[in-house]
Structure 1
Amino acid sequence: MARHEGGCQCGRVRFSADVELEGLISCNCSRCGRLGSILTFVSAGAFSLDQGEDALTEFKFNTDKISHLFCETCGVQSFGRGVAPDGREMIAVNVRCLDDVDVFSLKPQEVDGKSF
């Protein structure tokens, strides 16, 4: 696990997180499929929103368990907040929004979110 920095396209939202680049997922649900997100999940303690809380807009759908957060200026969803099945707070990090990661070298597992 390594510390990575990332954020939205315009730079208003910036974060850092201890991220594992294995066990990634690519989901085909109605939201992720359209966004093309590649996700990894970290505990709330392994994530720091460094700037831009005031720039975030929230979208919830389906079971309302995940706060899909996106920058109100550029529209990029770099992370979301939710609760893991065991009740712990978790962060879903869009790996495509990490500054120093070559996403073409990654092998995310495909998840059939349409069927949930």
Structure 2
Amino acid sequence: MQTYTGSCHCGAVRFECDLDLAAGTRRCNCSFCLKTRMWKVFALGDGFRLLHGADALSDYRAHASEWPAGHVHHYFCRHCGVRGFSKGYLEMAPFNGWFHAVNVATLDGMDDARFAAIPVQYEDGRHDDWDHPPASPSYL
């Protein structure tokens, strides 16, 4: 576990989070993750702290008929549009309550080699099968 800082493109939103990138990250092909190009890693419980920019955040929640059924808040900077994280609540393991899905691409101080070394698990969210990759994940 390591503490990372992150920010949006314009710097209006800044956060820190406790993450274990070596334990893996996720890329999903559901319509929302695919269109936003979300590359997520989870900060559980109090492992996420918004440092600056609460007033710069806009919130999107999916329609009740869609995953994640309105119970996950997808935050993005209203100035530059970058989606740095989402916040949700799931009682099932490994979440066991509140969590933040942090966009790996918004972590500060990462170079190409560090990004390339992060393990990625691909999820077939399009078919509600988050434990298995889609047939061809190369586009993710």
TM-score range normalised by the length of the shorter chain: over 0.9
Please give the secondary structure, in 2, of the residue aligned with 1:70. Answer: strand
Alignment equivalent of 1:111, drawn from 117, 120, 123:
123
Paired letter, 1:4: Y
Aligned-pair CA distance for 1:11: 0.3
The unaligned stretches of length 5 or more in structure 2 are 129-140
Q: Distance in 2 between matches of 1:84 and 1:92?
A: 12
Matched residue, 1:2: 2
Matched residue, 2:50: 49
Q: Which range is displaced more, 10-19 or 82-91?
A: 82-91
Aligned-pair CA distance for 1:94: 0.6
Aligned-pair CA distance for 1:44: 3.3
Paired letter, 1:109: Q
Structure 1-normalised TM-score? 0.93
The answer to which structure has the higher strand fraction is 1
Aligned length: 116
Matched residue, 1:74: 80
Runs of 4+ in structure 1 displaced over 3 angstroms? none
Relative CO higher for 1 or 2, CA cutoff 8 Å, sep ≥ 6? 1
Identity of aligned residues (%): 34
Alignment equivalent of 2:106, drawn from 70, 93, 97:
97
Please give the secondary structure, in 2, of the residue aligned with 1:31. Answer: helix
Aligned-pair CA distance for 1:42: 1.3
The unaligned stretches of length 5 or more in structure 1 are none
Q: Relative to 1, partners in 2 of residues 1:25 and 1:70: Cα closer, same or farther, differing over 3 Å?
A: same
- 2:91 maps to 1:85: yes
Structure 2-normalised TM-score? 0.78
Larger Rg belongs to: 2
> Cα deviations across residues 30-61 of structure 1 (Å, max 9, x unaligned)?
11112222111112311110001111111111
